Amino acid sequence: MTKYYGAKKALEDTTLRCPKKDFTAVLGPPGAGKTTLLRCAAGLDRPTSGTVSIAGQNITDMNEAALDVLRSERVSYVFSSRNLLPSLTVAENLTLPLRLTKRSAPPSLVIDLVRRAGLSEHLDSMPTDLCQSRQQLVAVVRAMITSPAVILADDPARGLDPRSAGEVLDLLASYVREHDGNVLLASHDPMVAAYADQTVLLKSGRVVREPGFPAGKAALERAVHLAVWEARDPF
C-alpha cells in the first residue's frame, strides 16, 4: 500500500503479509512509517492506494460503520502510552471492550490472562496506583480479552526497563503461541525481533529488507551485535 499525508509520502508500495498464528515485528527508525502502517492495518486510517485484508476480509472499502464493528470485534490496538481510563479500576479497564460490545469472554480465559500478566492482586486498584509496566500489561490483556484476529501493537514496550519490556512482549507472544492469534508489532528497538516469527525493516516508508531478516534467537544475536558495533544507527 501507499499512504500520503498531503504531499508527504509516509508509505511507499509497502507490502506485508502475516500468515496465521504469526508474530511480525516491523522495525525502523522514527519517521519510518511504522505507526502509519499499523493505523492503516487497523482500519484507523485509509491507505491512499492499495488494500488491507484482515482474516481474508478486504477492509479497504468498508464504510465507517463496518470498520467500527471490525475494530471492536476483530482487531485490538496497543499504544505506547498506556491509554487506560483513570476513573475505572483495573478489572473494569480490562473488561471494557467486552462491555462496550455487550459480549462476554470465557471466565477461564480471563482468569488465565490475569494470572499470566501478574495482575491477580491488582484487579481492584486504580491504573495510576500501578507502575508503568503493569499499566501496559493491563492494556495488553485488554487487547487479548476479546480474542481478536490480530493485535496491532505500536511500540508497546517503549520507555520500559528491559525486564518489564520482556514481560509485555512475552504476554503478546503468548497470544500467538497459545491462543493462535496474530500480532503485528512496530518498534524502533531491534531487541523485539527476538520475540518475532518474521521481522520487516521499514525505512522512509519502504521495506528495505524483505522477510528473511532473522527472527528469534538469530535476531537477538544480530541485535546485540548491532547494538555493540553500530550503536549510532542500527538500521
Ligand X SMILES: Nc1ncnc2c1ncn2[C@@H]1O[C@H](COP(=O)(O)OP(=O)(O)O)[C@@H](O)[C@H]1O
What does the binding site for ligand X look like in residue numbers (CB under 6 A)? 5, 8, 10, 28, 30-36
- By beta-carbon proximity to Mg ion, the closer residue of 153 and 215 is 153
At closest approach, how far in Å is the CB of 153 from ligand X?
12
Q: Grid cell 499504544 — which residue?
A: 79
At closest approach, how far in Å is the CB of 85 from ligand X?
24
Return d(Cα 28, Cα 34) in angstroms, integer.
7
Q: Which does 5 bind (CB under 5 to 8 A by kind): Mg ion, ligand X, none?
A: ligand X
- By beta-carbon proximity to ligand X, the closer residue of 32 and 94 is 32
Q: Which does 234 bind (CB under 5 to 8 A by kind): ligand X, Mg ion, none?
A: none
At closest approach, how far in Å is the CB of 77 from Mg ion?
13
At closest approach, how far in Å is the CB of 169 from ligand X?
18
- By beta-carbon proximity to ligand X, the closer residue of 14 and 146 is 14
- By beta-carbon proximity to Mg ion, the closer residue of 80 and 93 is 80
Report the relative pairing of strands 198-203 and 23-27 from DSSP bridges: parallel
Distance of CA 185 to the CA centre of its chain: 4
Residues 5-44 that bind Mg ion (CB under 5 A): 34-35
